[in-house]
Amino acid sequence: MSDLLAITGLRLSRGQREVLRGLSFSVRRGELVALMGLSGSGKTTALRCVAALEAFDAGTIALESCSLSPGPVPPESRLRDLRRCVGMVFQLHALFEHLTAIENVTLSPIYVHGLPAAQARSRGTSLLDSLGVGARTSAYPRELSGGEAQRVAIARALAVDPPLLLMDEPTASLDPARRGALTETLRELVAEGRGLLVATHDVDFAREAADRIVVLAEGSVAEEGSPAAVLANPSHQATRDLLQYRPPPNK
Amino acid sequence: MSTRALLPALAGLCLALPAPVNAASTPGPSAPPLVWGGDAEGGAPYVEADPADPTRVRGFDVEVAETIARGLGRTARFQQVQFQSIDASVERGDFDIGLSGVEDTPARRAEHAVTIPYFEFREVLAVRSGDLARFRTLADLKGRRVGTLAGTIAYDTLLARRASDGLEVVSYDDDVHPYTDLAEGRLDAVLLDNIIAARSLRRVPGLAVEPEAVSTGRYVGVLARRNATLRDRIDAILRQAMRDGTLEAIYRRWNIWDDSEKAFLEREGASVPAAPAPAPLGAPAASPWAATARYIPALLAAAGVTLVLTCLAMALAVAVGCGIAVGRIYGGRWLAALLAGYVELVRGTPVLLQLFVLYYGLAAVIRLPAFAAALLGLGLNYAAYESEIYRGALLAVSRPQLEAARTLGLSEWLIFRLVRGPQALRLALAPMTNDFVALLKDSSLVSVITVVELTKETAIFATNIGSWVIPGILCAALYLALSLPLSRLARRLERRWSIA
């Protein structure tokens, strides 16, 4: 199967600090890749580069129908193809606070892709339905629970049906039961043929949900492989540190 | 006789030690000075700062005050006071007597202890020289714009003839700008005292005074009502000065002496103290309640002017303020610097000054109608403040919200219109309401450029009936009636839009 996303030799410095040092890995269709590593290892930065939110200094990011090169982030007018094939779910959802769930979901279809409002609405509603938040279409973000807000954010990112979905720390604000439900949802998305790239340091989640794990250490790949191989038999100190780490309990 | 009303008469408050007034006290070197109040902004020949020594004043009112002080065996000490505040200030004891071209009116006689008149003036019409043959009397000015100083007999005269002669009355806070506006064509005539007219004709070219006076009036000294005994002694001193030629000498020195003044002084000097005061000009003193009933329609109309002006100025401020905020955030370095400069300039200078410059300063280039100048002045001033609110609100929209919008493919403009703008508006709403209410009250400043709004109409009303109690309460009630619903509406919107 061809690569949906191929990152090659990605480098990025912030001042004196090298955040990414020749990062290379790929994501295929029908695959959930967990991008793991401790804080500061470059997971989120890598996602932001793929979403063209951040400029990088060297390397390439290639998608099926477009690519990004080093240098300043291109203007939005030249990112149309990228926006069509990459969706992103932010760590704290970043739902538009002044819009209802369905308005969040239909914003891009209506205003960017010119879909008639009624059509966008009915598609948005069934998308929210399929993610289990069909009853919350007219709720504002402040009225949603953490799990509900995350599902609405996933629906918003999927509204124009991008083949690649990026997620940043999706389990950070979920309790274990919700985490199980999220895993189920994400597996369904993968089964539909999408590629998912999920930045996380949640080992349990990665073990259950991921097809492949890429462990980052200091801006490059420390090791990668199936969850069973990587987590049961870590070959790199970074992976061992990760297995030691337990996130603070949720409030 | 007039004032530019630029500064409240704060000076009067500093001198809260009125000389104790005791008619029986023996004059002597230890006698306290006679403190007299006048407005040096009114200028020559009444009271003006002495060019040779600006800490001193000179003028015929200064010399009349010195004559009175001498007669009382005291020295005269000048107290600066805003012309429109003379009556209120003398009553609260800031000084012993007010002398600054103060007119003899029924209301003043009813409310204060007033001296015999010491000078008779004529209300005359000034016109552009070319109109000398056209506008001989008020009747010739049907449908024309006639200016005068607010709160004077001339103003009341014009108001009384507004209905019958179809005049458009324009009120000023000072006696200089009516004549410059006349020369520039903003007015067709100015009705004011002949002394002021003569002075202005020397300053402003191209004007002439109609020979036929519209009416005559008299200047008096005004004392607190409780000081009637001192007033009687001053009356005697004034009569003596009329008979012995002291006043004539003063008036000759200041070039305001003529045959009719001679006749007036002879008549007045010969009058006996018991004689009833001659009926002064103006409407007879009515009861405050009757006067209030008469003024209510005018106050309501003025409240309407305030409301319309405030709403339009706010609309302008919001539109321009948005433009400035967006320009500073999205525009290039030069545009941002230019706009920041505008904001600093406008915020750093008084709105009163800006109104003067817009209306009078630019008159040579563009002659804005008064209301338009008021609207522009307030709107552009408040735009600077609004722009800072919007800029702050736009910058307060969190980065993830904007990045989420970008990942959805929204263009910069769509992000502004659909995400950043609406969220910023909710943040800006409370400070905006605050500014709207502040603007409602700041709109009272536009009376300096002849727009009569609620505060100005109240001041005119108060001058007319000689008391601030009823006009003040009515005015406050009207302002509250305008601002409270607005605050409520804003609170309701805030609740509805609140971001948890």
**Given an 8 Å threshold on Cβ–Cβ distance, is B404 in contact with A98?**
no
- Dihedral of CA atoms B435, B438, B444, B446 in degrees, nearest 10, equals -30
The size of the A-B interface in CB pairs under 8 A is 73
Interface test with A, best of B394, B402, B407, B412 (most A CBs within 10 A): B407
Which residues of chain A have a CB within 8 Å of the CB of B401?
94, 96-97
B185, burial (CB in 10 Å: exposed 0-12, middle 13-18, buried 19+): exposed
CA B197 from centroid of its chain's CA atoms: 19
User: A37-72: b or e for each residue (b if 16 or more CB lie within 10 Å)?
Assistant: bbeebbbbbbbbbbbbbbebebbebbbbebebeeee
Which residues of chain B have a CB within 8 Å of the CB of A84?
409
Same domain, yes or no: B477 and B405? yes
Q: What is the ipTM of this complex?
A: 0.91
pLDDT digits (tens, 9 = 90+) for A3-52: 899 999 999 998 888 899 999 999 999 999 999 988 888 899 999 999 99
The residues near B457 (Cβ < 8 Å, ≥ 6 apart) are B295, B298, B299, B301, B302
Q: What is the CATH number of domain A3-93+163-244?
A: 3.40.50.300
Alpha-carbon distance B490 to nearest alpha carbon in chain A (angstroms): 17
Same domain, yes or no: B400 and B264? no
What chain A residue is nearest to B414 in terms of C-alpha separation? Answer: A111
**Given an 8 Å threshold on Cβ–Cβ distance, is B400 in contact with A95?**
no
Rg of chain B on CA atoms, in Å: 27
Domain count, chain B: 3
**Residue B417, in any domain of the structure:** yes
Please tell me the predicted confidence (pLDDT) of residue B36.
95
**Residue B340, in any domain of the structure:** yes
Same domain, yes or no: B445 and B299? yes
Same domain, yes or no: B126 and B114? no
**Given an 8 Å threshold on Cβ–Cβ distance, is A53 in contact with B406?**
yes
What chain B residue is nearest to A113 in terms of C-alpha separation? Answer: B409
Which residues of chain A have a CB within 8 Å of the CB of B398?
94
What chain A residue is nearest to B418 in terms of C-alpha separation? Answer: A107
DSSP letters, B294-342, are HHHHHHHHHHHHHHHHHHHHHHHHHHHHHHHHHHHHHS-HHHHHHHHHH
Report the C-alpha gap between A152 and B206 in whole angstroms.
77
**Given an 8 Å threshold on Cβ–Cβ distance, is A76 in contact with B418?**
no
**Residue B196, in any domain of the structure:** yes
Q: Which helix (H) or strand (E) holds A61?
A: strand A58-63
**Given an 8 Å threshold on Cβ–Cβ distance, is A112 in contact with B414?**
yes
**Given an 8 Å threshold on Cβ–Cβ distance, is B410 in contact with A95?**
no
Same domain, yes or no: B96 and B204? no
Same domain, yes or no: B190 and B206? yes
Q: Which helix (H) or strand (E) holds A181?
A: helix A176-191
Same domain, yes or no: B242 and B365? no
Amino acid at the residue A56: F
Which residues of chain B have a CB within 8 Å of the CB of A98?
419, 422-423, 426, 497, 499
User: HEC profile for B200-268?
Assistant: HHHHCCCEEECCCCCEEEEECCEECHHHHHHHHHHHHHHHHHHHCCHHHHHHHHCCCCCHHHHHHHHHH
How far is CA A177 from each of CA A171, A184, A199, rounded to the nearest angstrom?
11, 11, 20
Instruction: Going residue by residue through chain B, which has 500 residues, state the pLDDT in tens, using 9 for 90 and above.
Output: 434 333 333 333 333 333 344 434 444 556 899 999 998 877 778 888 887 777 788 999 999 999 999 999 999 999 888 887 888 888 878 899 999 999 998 889 988 999 999 999 999 999 999 998 999 988 899 889 999 988 788 988 898 888 788 889 998 887 888 998 999 899 999 999 999 999 888 888 999 999 888 989 999 999 999 999 999 999 999 999 999 999 999 999 998 998 889 999 988 888 766 544 555 555 455 577 777 887 888 889 999 999 999 999 999 999 999 999 999 999 889 999 999 999 999 999 999 899 888 887 887 788 788 889 999 999 999 999 999 999 999 999 999 999 999 999 998 899 999 999 999 998 898 889 889 999 998 998 888 777 878 988 888 777 767 678 888 999 999 999 999 988 888 788 778 776 53
Which residues of chain A have a CB within 8 Å of the CB of B405?
96, 107
Using CB atoms, pick whichever of B407, B411, B419 lies closest to residue A51. Answer: B407
Give the domain-ending residue among B262, B284, B306.
B284
Please say whether the dihedral angle defined by the alpha carbons of residues B460, B465, B466 and B469, taken in this order, is positive or negative: negative
**Residue B4, in any domain of the structure:** no
What chain B residue is nearest to A142 in terms of C-alpha separation? Answer: B500
Mean pLDDT in residue range A96-112: 93
- Tell me the average pLDDT of chain A: 89
Same domain, yes or no: B65 and B185? no
**Residue B368, in any domain of the structure:** yes
**Residue B258, in any domain of the structure:** yes
Which residues of chain A have a Cβ shorter than 8 Å from any chain B Cβ? 51-53, 76-77, 79-80, 83-84, 86-88, 90, 92, 94-98, 107-108, 111-113, 140, 142-143, 156-157, 159-160
Please tell me the predicted confidence (pLDDT) of residue A138.
92
pLDDT at A159 over 50: yes
Please answer whether residues B285 and B95 qualify as being in contact, where contact means their C-beta atoms are separated by less than 8 angstroms. Answer: no
Same domain, yes or no: B275 and B294? no
**Residue B1, in any domain of the structure:** no
Which residues of chain B have a CB within 8 Å of the CB of A159?
408
Give the domain-ending residue among B216, B236, B258.
B216
* Strand pairing class (B145-149; B168-172): parallel
What chain B residue is nearest to A108 in terms of C-alpha separation? Answer: B408
Alpha-carbon distance A46 to nearest alpha carbon in chain B (angstroms): 15
CATH number at residue B313: 1.10.3720.10
What chain B residue is nearest to A47 in terms of C-alpha separation? Answer: B407
**Given an 8 Å threshold on Cβ–Cβ distance, is B418 in contact with A80?**
no
pLDDT at A202 over 50: yes
Give the domain-ending residue among B216, B242, B266.
B216
Report the C-alpha gap between B312 and B308 in whole angstroms.
6
Q: What is the DSSP letter of A98?
A: T
Prior bond to B350 cis, omega within 30? no
CA A57 from centroid of its chain's CA atoms: 22
What chain B residue is nearest to A88 in terms of C-alpha separation? Answer: B407
Flag whether residue B405 sits within 8 Å of chain A, measured between CB atoms. yes
Q: Among all chains, which residue has been given the structure tokens 């793991």? A: A36
The model's pTM: 0.72
The residues near B71 (Cβ < 8 Å, ≥ 6 apart) are B233, B234, B236, B237, B240, B241
Alpha-carbon distance A163 to nearest alpha carbon in chain B (angstroms): 14
Same domain, yes or no: B189 and B230? no
Length of chain A, in residues:
251
Same domain, yes or no: B242 and B210? no
Which residues of chain B have a CB within 8 Å of the CB of A94?
398, 400-401, 403-404
Please tell me the predicted confidence (pLDDT) of residue B25.
42
**Given an 8 Å threshold on Cβ–Cβ distance, is B422 in contact with A98?**
yes
Which residues of chain B have a CB within 8 Å of the CB of A79?
409
Alpha-carbon distance B491 to nearest alpha carbon in chain A (angstroms): 17
**Given an 8 Å threshold on Cβ–Cβ distance, is B418 in contact with A111?**
yes
**Given an 8 Å threshold on Cβ–Cβ distance, is B409 in contact with A95?**
no
Report the C-alpha gap between B340 and B492 in whole angstroms.
33
Please tell me the predicted confidence (pLDDT) of residue A128.
92
Q: How many CB atoms lie within 10 A of CB B138?
A: 24
Using CB atoms, pick whichever of A94, A112, A142 lies closest to residue B409. Answer: A112
CATH number at residue B81: 3.40.190.10
More confident residue, A207 or B271: A207
CA A38 from centroid of its chain's CA atoms: 17
| Helical segments of A29-175, H only | 43-50, 80-85, 101-111, 117-130, 146-158
**Residue B255, in any domain of the structure:** yes
Domain limits of chain A? 3-93+163-244
Helix, strand, coil abundance in chain B, percent, nearest 5: 60, 10, 30
Q: Which domain holds residue B474?
A: 289-497
Interface test with A, best of B394, B397, B408, B420 (most A CBs within 10 A): B408
Same domain, yes or no: B328 and B257? no
